[in-house]
Each structure stands twice: as structure tokens, then as C-alpha cells.
Chain A
Amino acid sequence: MKLKKGIPLIDQGNRFGFWGGKFGGNFVPETLKKPIEDLEILFNKLKKDKKFIAERDRYFKNWIGTPTRFIKLENLTQHIGGAQIWSKVVSDANGGAHKIYNATVHCLLAKRSGKKIICGDTGAGYAGKMLSMAAKKFGLKCKIFMGAKDIERQQPNVKAIKKNGAEVIPVYSGSQTLVDAVSECMRFWVANCDTTAMCVGSTVGPAVFVRICGWSTSQISRELKVQLIEEFGSIPKKLKLYNCVGGGSSSFGFWNEFMDYDKKQCEFIGVEAGGPAKSKRHAAPLTYGSKIGILHGAAQYVNQNSEGQIEETESISAGLDYPGISPLHCFLKDTKRARYTAASDEEALNAYRLVTRYEKLRPSLEPSHAFSVAIKEAKKMSKNTIVVVNSCGDAYKDKKILVKRLGKKYV
């Protein structure tokens, strides 16, 4: 299994949509074959279309607000006393997280295909919030599927979704989290694919959804590359890019433009959700060696029992609370281009505490996982090493959890 140079990773799958011959694919009911094929044709055409790209860039610039900041965390760097710690503040983007890129592109595609309704899943509520924002912007009706447990713990985003005029459909099956929301959303699409477009909220699902999402979030690394060169004159000799990984959309977008660099120069570190310290129900299939299985239309490493039933996960961060992982990350793991590890709930909370104490930055619980590992590792690194952490979401949505776990002064 090998990565190819000079070809975008999203286009390195075979004709059946498998990366490395075994990750991804299209394990979907017959009914979805046609709408997926239609979407593939449309996307393959438009991603080469200069006018479409210009349209995308216009919305990214004027509506999402690009570029998001790239800042040095001076105080934190000084406190840690190792590598230079920087952050790409993707939470600057309109809506407060990277999910806006994928949502915008899906709405643009839906418009082109003449669909009037768009449905989507959400865990932390960001994917849903952004899709509802974009749907409103582009005049589409919007339905958001969300696990009942997530609705309870991510209220600020739920309110935002409703405020944007979208319908929130609570999902009560299974663990009542993201995994069930995605299943229910796919079921809705099966029954309504003639009138409705579907947006999968991360780089998961049938191959075309993995590709569209990866193509959209790659905006993050496009900006970062320019910002690094502006700051350092060239891409630093020792660059470490830390990102949390749930489904894997922000991390893939954060790394994509650096894919062809040698990993000695530009290392990718993905941080999965380890769950509560003593729990075995982690959401870290890459770190803890889960087996390959099929979830939501794609072959991937996934937490499952010996029978093939998908296992429930447990994490403080709803956005990472997913038993599977993008086929792109499975491929990056097996080709050893990226390194994956996990942080526990407690470690993420500690990192949040540390970052907010030293910096004017409030990473949500998801990127706090990445900060945890970055801080731990940065201590042992030389001063000329550049550590960049993608702060891909804002902690506003986590208010309730933070008050409960850390007390009011941290919110």
C-alpha cells in the first residue's frame, strides 16, 4: 500500500472508491446507487470547473471569512519550554468551526443539481449548525439528524440550528449519538433521494462523500501553507501538525496540502478520543487497533464486537464520539504517513485549562484533545520545531460540560 505523489489523496481511490484497495467503497443499498453516481459525475465535473472554483472561493472569502488566523501561542510556548507552539484558528470561520467548508460545498452542489432540500447528520452540532446556515444562505430547506444524547449535551448548537430555520430530528435508536444520527440520515436519504440532497458531516460515508468533504476542508491547509511561508520564508524544516480525529474532516483538511512533503519534515499527528480514563469504550479505532469493518457505506477500521455489531463509544466530545474513522485516515495510517494516538477526556480537559490560562483562545473539547498531545510532546522538542495545532472549534458549545467538569471560572 503506497501513497502516490502529485495526485490529491481524495483522487487516489480505485474505480470502486477504495483507497489502498481496501478502505472506503460504496456499501450502499441499491436505491442509493443512482443518486451517488449522479453526485459523483457532478462533483468530478465541477471540481475541474474554473467558474465553480471561483464561486466556491468567493463564498469562502466573503461569507466564511478566509484566511482564518495563524497565531503563535507565545505564553504557552514559554510555559512549556520546548518547541514553538502555534495554532491555526479555524474556529474564526463563520459559524465557529471547519464544518462550514463542507456544508457550503454541499449546498452549492445541491443547487447545481436542482435539489430543494438538504439533509445532514451532526454529532457536536457543528455540522448541523453549518449546514443550516449554508442552507439558509442558498435557499434550501434543511433537515438535521442528531442523536438525542447529543441534543441534550450540545444545546447551544441545537438552538442555532433551529434559529436558522432548519428542522432538528432527534434520533432515539442505539446509543443516541452521531453513529445513529448518520444511520438515520442515510435512511432518510434512501426514502427521499429523488428530491433531497444529503450532506455527510465528515470524511466518512460512501466514497464520494469522503472526497467532497476532503476537498472542501482542504481550504485549511491551503491557507496554512501560505501563512507558513509568509511567516518563515519557507515551509519549516521541522513541522508538526496536530489535529483531533473523529470522522477526520478537519485533520484531513489541515494536512492535505502537505501530503507530498517528507514526513521527517512535515509530520502529521492525529489525536483520537480515548474516552474517560478508565473506560474501555473509547472512540479511537486507529490507536487501539480496531478491525476493518463496514460502517455507513465504507470499509474502515471500526470499533465492533467479534460478530460485526458496531460498538458504542464514549467521549466527552460529541464531535469525536464515533466508532469509525475516515477511509482516508485508515490509508494514512497503513501507509505510515500519519501517526495516531489518543487523549482521554481528562487529558483534554487539562489541556483546555492550560490553553485558556495562558492564551486568548478557547478551543472546544475536540481540539483540546489535540492540544493535550501537542503540549506533552512539544516539551521534548527543540526550539526550532514548529508545532501547529488546529483549533477547529470554539468552546462556546461546550459550556454546560465545562461548567460541570471544571467549574464556572473556566467558561
Chain B
Amino acid sequence: MSNSIDLAFQKAKKENRPALLTYTVAGDSSKNQSLIILNAISKYADILELGVPHNTPVADGSQIQTSAYRAIKNGIKMEDIFWIVKKYNKNKNSKPIILMGYYNMIFQYGERKFLEKCKKVGVSGLIVVDLPWPENKSFTKKCKKKSIYLIQLLSPTTSKERLNKIIKDSHAMNYFISMLSTTGGKLKVSSRKIMSNYLKIKKINPKKNVVIGFGITEKSIESLKKADGLVVGSAICKEISVSIQKRQNPVTNVANLVKKLKNKIL
């Protein structure tokens, strides 16, 4: 299967840099504003992760929780999220979209219906935080049938044997969690250590793209630029929160931040 995600990585490789992946929460702080933010950062980012807000997130730190609660409070619904993606994909400059969230949201929507809808509006990939391998085997196959990547998460606690098995069953992109942390934690291990773990994973199947996420900020992004891709999430969510607090425009501030991040890895 081919997928626009592959093209995004190819383009970045041609430019001799890692792909830049951003994470924002759908509906933060409103349906329209999150769409405008996606449009504004498209110029700099290569792949956009869009969080499906959930109110009992077991892996998210305070920044993403704040964004998610804000979105839920403002009434964001699954249908709105699909609407955002559909509208966004009309943008000529649009980048591949990955929906990221917790399994209950998919389970309640219905796996099949959810995937059909994803296909229809143009979702390229999915990350389901609490549906790990091997529990996700059947869902992975269903995604494949729709040419949607199910992105597997790999963690510093994942054993070698497990890494091999997960990567074997995975689609063309995987996500390495840099450290033991919820999202947005302070980077508590050295970049060198993260890169050495990353390379071990990369060696298992060099053809599959591996991105690194969790704890990546303006400060740390440069030191990890040898990776296929880097994800920045909490730092962006924080920028939205701070902008709202200061009564500034989150759209410009977030766009500026993503531009800066991009410049660091060029």
C-alpha cells in the first residue's frame, strides 16, 4: 500500500532533514480555530497529528490534558473532527493527517464505521494510545484494507523480542517514545541515549520510518535531527494555552513556533 505519509518522509529525506510532525488537539480551542491552526502550520510541518480529545487520558501530561478538556468543554464531537479533516484537506498545501487518541472513542463510534469515515475525509494514519500490540492486530489489518497506517508505539520498556514482533506487524511508520513519561514531560534522558535506542529500532527494519516523540521542544529538537521524523505536541498545546491566557492570537503564535522548530532541523 502507498500512503501520503510515505511521500512526506521522502520529501524530507530529499531535503536531508527529519520530517516535522506536529500535534494539536482537534477543537482546541474551538472547531474553527483548530482548523485555522492546521492551515497555518501546514507551510512548515510535514505531517499533522490531530488529537481526538478524551476525558480520561492515561498517557497525556498536563499540557495536552488542558487542551483536550478545553476542546471537550467547547463541545467538540467526533463528527466535528471529521469535518475539520475534510475541510483541511481542501487546502492545496495540505499535509497528511494522523488522528491520535484513545480506543474508547473508536470503539463507541464502531471500528468499521470509524475507518470508513477516516477514509472518506482523508485521514492517512491512526495512533491509538491504549490499543497496544498484540491486542491491535485485528484493527491493524482493518486499517490496512483502507490504506490507513496504524502507527505502532515503541517505548524504552519494550523488550527486544517484542520490538521485533511489533515492527514485523507494523505498517511503514512507527513512533518511538523517547523516555518513560507521559506526553510533555521534561526530557530526562540525554539525546545521545535516545538516538542510540532509536538506531537499535531502526536497525530492525531500516525501510520503515521511525519518528521520535515525547518531551521534544525548541531546545531539544536539533539534537535529535538524525531521526526520520520528530513530533512536537505538548509544546504547541502549551503555546495555545499561553496565548489564550495573554489574550494573544494562538494561530500566529503557534505558526511562529512551528516555523522556529522547522528552522532548527533544516
Contacts and interface: CB of A to CB of B under 8 A. Distances in A.
Interface in A257-272: none
Nearest to B177: A31
B101 to A, nearest CB: 9
A68 interface: no
B55 A294 contact: no
Interface stretch (B1-9, B37-45, B59-67): B59-67
A191 B102 contact: no
B170 to A, nearest CB: 12
A29 B59 contact: yes
Indicate the member of A35, A174, A191, A296 with the most B CB atoms within 10 Å.
A191
Given A29-B129, A33-B132, A174 B108 contact: no
Given A33-B158, A194-B180, A293 B107 contact: yes
A90 B57 CA distance: 34
B69 interface: yes
A173 B65 contact: yes
B184 to A, nearest CB: 10
A113 B161 CA distance: 22
Contacts of B107: 293-294, 308
A388 B253 CA distance: 64
Contact of A192 (B55, B105, B180): B180
Interface string A293-319: 111110000001011111000000000
A294 B102 contact: yes
Interface in B161-198: 162, 177, 180-182, 185
B74 interface: no
Contact of A193 (B57, B60, B78, B157): B157
A113 B232 CA distance: 35
A28 B130 contact: yes
Interface in B128-159: 129-133, 135, 152-159
B229 to A, nearest CB: 18
A25 interface: yes
B58 interface: yes
A30 interface: yes
A29 B132 contact: yes
B56 interface: yes
A16 interface: yes
Contact of A294 (B72, B104, B109, B159): B104
Nearest to B78: A307
A304 B104 CA distance: 10
Contacts of A180: 56
B259 interface: no
Main secondary structure of the interface of B (DSSP, over half): loop
A295 B56 CA distance: 7
A187 B180 contact: no
Contacts of B103: 27, 294
A34 interface: yes
Contact of A30 (B102, B108, B109, B154): B154
Interface in A376-392: none
A108 interface: no
Given A190-B182, A191-B185, A293-B108, A28 B132 contact: yes
Interface string B53-93: 01111111100010001001000011000000000000000
Interface in A108-151: none
B58 A183 contact: yes
Contacts of A308: 54, 104-105, 107-109
A179 interface: yes
Nearest to B65: A173
Interface string A19-54: 000000111111111110000000000000000000
A187 B135 contact: no
Contacts of A295: 56, 104
Contact of B55 (A29, A31, A174, A190): A174
Interface string B244-265: 0000000000000000000000
B135 A309 contact: no
B58 A304 contact: no
A346 B127 CA distance: 45
Contacts of B181: 190-191
B66 to A, nearest CB: 9
B2 to A, nearest CB: 26
Contacts of A194: 157, 180
B123 to A, nearest CB: 17
A307 B59 CA distance: 20
A49 to B, nearest CB: 25
A180 B85 CA distance: 30
B135 A16 contact: yes
A107 to B, nearest CB: 22
Contacts of A31: 59, 155-157, 177, 180
B130 A297 contact: yes
A85 interface: no
B108 A304 contact: yes
A186 interface: yes
Interface in A262-297: 291, 293-297
Contact of A27 (B69, B131, B154, B182): B131
Given A33-B157, A173-B69, A183-B58, A293 B132 contact: no
Contacts of B152: 30
B55 to A, nearest CB: 5
Interface in B186-231: none
A183 B180 contact: no
A187 B59 CA distance: 6
18 contacts: A25-B135, A26-B135, A29-B132, A29-B153, A30-B153, A31-B155, A32-B157, A33-B155, A173-B65, A183-B56, A183-B57, A186-B58, A187-B58, A194-B180, A293-B107, A295-B56, A304-B108, A307-B105
